[in-house]
Amino acid sequence: MVTIKQVAKEAGVSVATVSRVLNNNGYVSQEALTNVKSVIEKLNYKPNSVARSLYNKTSNMIGLIVPDITNPFFPELARAVEDVAMIYGFKVVLCNSDQEPEKEKKYIDLFKQQYVDGIIMTAHSYESEIYTDLNIPVVALDRIGNTTLPAVVSNNYTGARKATDLLLQKGVENIAHIRGPRGVAPAEDRYRGFIDEVNKKNADYIIEESSFQLEGAEKKAREFLRAHTDVDGIFCSNDVIAVGVLKEALKKGIKVPEELQIIGFDGSFFGKMIYPELTTVSQPIYDMGAMATRLLIKIIEGNKPEKIFYEMPTTIIERSTTRK
Amino acid sequence: MVTIKQVAKEAGVSVATVSRVLNNNGYVSQEALTNVKSVIEKLNYKPNSVARSLYNKTSNMIGLIVPDITNPFFPELARAVEDVAMIYGFKVVLCNSDQEPEKEKKYIDLFKQQYVDGIIMTAHSYESEIYTDLNIPVVALDRIGNTTLPAVVSNNYTGARKATDLLLQKGVENIAHIRGPRGVAPAEDRYRGFIDEVNKKNADYIIEESSFQLEGAEKKAREFLRAHTDVDGIFCSNDVIAVGVLKEALKKGIKVPEELQIIGFDGSFFGKMIYPELTTVSQPIYDMGAMATRLLIKIIEGNKPEKIFYEMPTTIIERSTTRK
């Protein structure tokens, strides 16, 4: 393997000069710069990034903390983060926190020891304190923890209003909202959007609460459809709940969308795998991940971003669980 | 931040002794060991892992190369790898290769520079050469590249035979197999399993080929169901193809499983999100990821594993796309 010494010798400069070229800091004459760069290319020198880490206290690594990569929202996010990171020469360390503060702390300790350059976190609101006194740049994604942190979120509130409005426009007379868990920020925002829209329209409504997981959602849907046979339109707080409702409705022989219209939230890929296909409020998951990564890298590189809070628009994808 | 010098001073030993304790190599007296460990705890000393990397040429990092984390098979695998890695104190760097050799090579260069300790790869057969002359331990997962590499795979051949047998046992008279892309090892193994089983039973059969993605599978299913109205049982090479077939059958008003029985392969979570729920050959995805990671760490730590090839059993999950 070619060493920095060999590069310096071949270029006829000091090791310190090569180091300045590699790290892009300190004065280097134009001549030396051109010379060193051509030698690096000629010898196919690959700077030892661990040594550079130690010297620069950077590692070209981004830590990505998700609750659980198997939750359908996060693979697309992770993919976007990795795609953008790679363009800028950063690697992505994947961490599943299960939203346990202990695990998150452990990861953050590791990140510090390893000179991780920045963190993208998608954590629960109540654990955000551990991010605020870090010396590492952090961008919050999706489930925003603390509003003083740079963040990229989707417009959950507006998306929920649009979904509710669509159901009412499509002739729903007895509307319901199956909301997500209390205290989870997106679930709260979607709930507020629903409430404000039905109140604006003076519509009666029913609220039910479910977990964001399939098993809980199916159970809740079963009870709900038994208890509320007159409900003809349900806005569900995420796509998984919507799938639970759809499955239970089909099992009971309820015609979707003729007798019951359903809208989910997220725009997950499995909305297209079911039949009838799910109408949903789509979040630009990939764009959110890409935007968060670009924002983080901007901060890592010492540039002041124009703004540190991005709210990305949601769009309704009308498929077959709502009427034409 | 506490430094190694402070630990050495407080413990009354040399920096070299502390280093030997930290790196767990070289002679240290029992007394010094106990002493250093208690000082480390007392001062809450966090060894600088970047400096250790440079010294030891290790980084406590595992590189995980998947084709695409948004492909439903891989999040669960990544989760398992990360869970096990964390137990042993390793971090996981996530890489999406899109099965492009160029991207894989780029990642591997990065891994070398960073002293990544080992690689778990799930790559296409024809790109495996780039892994064989590495000085970094590699374990192949799922899509085995080169049989000289340690590998954890599932028993695709036997799973396919079982699925075919089940369809025939459930009264299927005109059986078909929609196979996956040519040259993809699991698709080939499942195809062989199907062929051997129908030949053993002297059953007539039809073969069709599809991509492993939903859009291609739906299109193929549409054509297939139009052309082969007498087929009453289909073994699909993965769950995505099975979902494509199911959707098209339901659209055409074909009753599943009364008129058409369907079996998928993978055991993906979305098999439970559709209605009727999908009968499938389940791979122990999480167990495969966990096993591969344990095997890799064993090799990294210099232990000779008992064996380097693990074939994990598949199991049929009977749900509602096959008859009772």
Give the model's pLDDT for residue A4.
Answer: 80
Domain that holds residue B228: 156-284
Compute the distance between CA of residue A177 and CA of residue A189 in angstroms, rounded to an integer.
Answer: 13
B215 and B132 assigned to the same domain: no
> Are B70 and A75 in contact (CB < 8 Å)?
yes
Say yes or no: A247 contacts chain B, CB-CB below 8 A.
Answer: yes
Q: How confident is the model at residue B36 (pLDDT cuts 50, 70, 90)?
A: confident
Instruction: Tell me what the mean pLDDT of segment B171-182 comes to.
Output: 97
* Exposed/middle/buried for residue A110 (C-beta within 10 Å: 0-12, 13-18, 19+): buried
Say yes or no: B61 contacts chain A, CB-CB below 8 A.
Answer: yes
For residue B75, the Cα-to-chain-centroid distance in whole angstroms is 9
B37 and B70 assigned to the same domain: no
Phi first, then psi, for residue B61 (nearest 5°) are -120, 140
Give the model's pLDDT for residue B126.
Answer: 47
| Residue B200, helix vs strand vs coil | helix
Q: Which amino acid is at B291?
A: M
Q: How confident is the model at residue B265 (pLDDT cuts 50, 70, 90)?
A: very high
Give the model's pLDDT for residue A55.
Answer: 56
Strand partners, A309: A151
Kindly report the average pLDDT of chain B as a whole number. 88
Domain total for chain B?
3
Structure tokens given for B94: 């996530």
In a domain, B53, yes or no: no
A140 and A30 assigned to the same domain: no
Q: What would the pLDDT profile of A291-305 be if each residue is shown by its tens digit?
A: 999 999 999 988 888
Q: How confident is the model at residue B162 (pLDDT cuts 50, 70, 90)?
A: very high
Q: How confident is the model at residue B16 (pLDDT cuts 50, 70, 90)?
A: confident
In a domain, A324, yes or no: no
Structure tokens given for B172: 């299927």
Which of A100, A105, A213, A275 to probe by mutation at the B interface, max B CB count within 10 Å? A275
Q: Which amino acid is at A266?
A: D
B186 and B171 assigned to the same domain: yes
| Strand bridging mode B151-154 / B309-312 | parallel
CA angle in degrees (0–180, nearest 5) for A299-A301-A303: 60
| Strand bridging mode B175-179 / B233-236 | parallel
A165 and A277 assigned to the same domain: yes
Compute the distance between CA of residue B202 and CA of residue B181 in angstroms, rounded to an integer.
Answer: 25
A279 and A178 assigned to the same domain: yes
B221 and B253 assigned to the same domain: yes
Give the model's pLDDT for residue B125.
Answer: 46
Q: Answer for the pair A91, B59: CB distance below 8 angstroms, yes or no.
A: no
> Are A54 and B54 in contact (CB < 8 Å)?
yes
A226 and A169 assigned to the same domain: yes
Element spanning B109, H or E: helix B101-113
Residue A31: CATH number of its domain = 1.10.260.40
Residue A213: CATH number of its domain = 3.40.50.2300
Give the model's pLDDT for residue A24.
Answer: 66
In a domain, B52, yes or no: no
Residue B107 reports pLDDT greater than 90: no
For residue A154, the Cα-to-chain-centroid distance in whole angstroms is 9
Give the model's pLDDT for residue A125.
Answer: 46
Give the model's pLDDT for residue A198.
Answer: 98
Compute the distance between CA of residue A203 and CA of residue A218 in angstroms, rounded to an integer.
Answer: 26
Element spanning B279, H or E: strand B279-282
> Are A46 and B109 in contact (CB < 8 Å)?
yes
Q: Answer for the pair B1, B46: CB distance below 8 angstroms, yes or no.
A: yes
Q: How confident is the model at residue B243 (pLDDT cuts 50, 70, 90)?
A: very high
Element spanning A265, H or E: strand A261-266
Say yes or no: B126 contacts chain A, CB-CB below 8 A.
Answer: no
Q: How confident is the model at residue B111 (pLDDT cuts 50, 70, 90)?
A: confident
Q: Give me the tens of pLDDT residue by residue for chain A, a chain 324 residues long.
A: 677 888 889 988 887 788 777 766 667 788 888 888 888 888 887 766 655 555 555 678 999 999 889 888 899 999 999 999 998 889 999 999 887 888 888 888 888 877 799 999 886 544 556 676 778 899 988 655 555 788 998 999 999 999 999 999 999 999 999 999 998 888 999 999 999 999 999 999 999 999 998 999 999 999 999 999 999 999 999 999 999 999 999 999 999 999 999 999 999 888 999 999 999 999 999 999 999 999 999 999 888 888 888 999 999 999 999 999
Say yes or no: A222 contacts chain B, CB-CB below 8 A.
Answer: no
Comparing C-alpha atoms, which of B240, B248, B242, B246 is closest to residue B222?
A: B248
Q: What would the pLDDT profile of A7-45 be if each residue is shown by its tens digit?
A: 889 988 887 788 777 766 667 788 888 888 888 888 887
* Exposed/middle/buried for residue B245 (C-beta within 10 Å: 0-12, 13-18, 19+): buried
B188 and B278 assigned to the same domain: yes
pTM of the model: 0.80
CA angle in degrees (0–180, nearest 5) for B293-B294-B295: 90
A217: nearest CA in chain B?
A: B273
Rounded to the nearest angstrom, the minimum Cα separation between A46 and chain B is: 7
Comparing C-alpha atoms, which of B292, B236, B226 is closest to residue B263?
A: B236
**Closest to A251 (Cβ–Cβ): which among B61, B273, B275?**
B275
